[in-house]
A and B are shown apart, each in its own frame.
Chain A
Amino acid sequence: MSEKKLRNIFVQGKINADFIATAIAKHQSKTDIGGHSIFLGQVRADLVDGAPVIAIDYSSYEEMALKKMDEIRELIFTKYSLTCLHVYHSLGMVHTGEICLFVFTSSKHRKAAIEACSEIVELIKSQLPVWGREIVSDETHQWKKNN
């Protein structure tokens, strides 16, 4: 059995606005698409004991994350009538205000794209082996907790 090459979702550092714009532009030729849904995760300046978070340092068990993302992709394509699905997640340092997660779904009719996008975000947050270490301005850090 040949090894399936897993799609890479990881980007070193922040996800740039240009990258997002280019991704949107690339879909102009796909004229069966009627709607896109986009989720952008941004690093927020939470307060930790009064001091603001200045960045999140993301790490991952990459081999397992890519495998898990592939499973999520299969599940979503089976459940929703999508034309496309793209996911990008940052690794390494992402500063507050910068984008660390980009989920982009496209479909013929909007409902599938909107619902799929939402479900993908929840699955990523609960199932992908990715960790965020919050770097605080007072030079301490703590490990992010998802809810």
Chain B
Amino acid sequence: MITVLFFGQLAEASGVRTASMNGITGTDELKAALVSRYPGMKNMLFNIAVDTEIAEGDVPVHAGSTVALLPPFSGG
């Protein structure tokens, strides 16, 4: 099981700030599963961080990982 964190407009689009997911082994698989579960997220742009590290391309995800969905940053 992994923990997924939703930030910014993604939390709005999905209606949740956090979710648990099972059977996910990679970030591409996760993206597909997310759009399926939360259709409001379709066509939204975001980066993924696995355990606080930005994922470049399809990155493996292990049980117990925290995966954060990061819309474009707008701090400062």
Chain A residues close to B by CB (< 8 Å): 41, 58-61, 63-64, 67, 89, 100-101, 121, 124-133, 143-146
Contact = CB atoms under 8 A, between A and B. Distances in A.
A63 B52 contact: yes
Contacts of A146: 72-76
A61 B7 contact: yes
| Most central of A60, A64, A124, A126 by chain B CB within 10 Å | A64
Interface residues of B, number: 14
B4 interface: no
Nearest to A124: B76
Contacts, number: 64
Given A131-B8, A133-B8, A58 B49 contact: no
B70 A130 contact: no
Contact of B73 (A67, A101, A125, A133): A125
Interface of B: 5, 7-9, 49, 52, 68, 70-76
Contact of A89 (B9, B68, B76): B76
A132 B74 contact: yes
Given A59-B7, A143-B9, A132 B49 contact: no
A121 B76 CA distance: 8
Nearest to A66: B52
Contacts of A101: 75-76
A89 B76 CA distance: 7
A110 B7 CA distance: 38
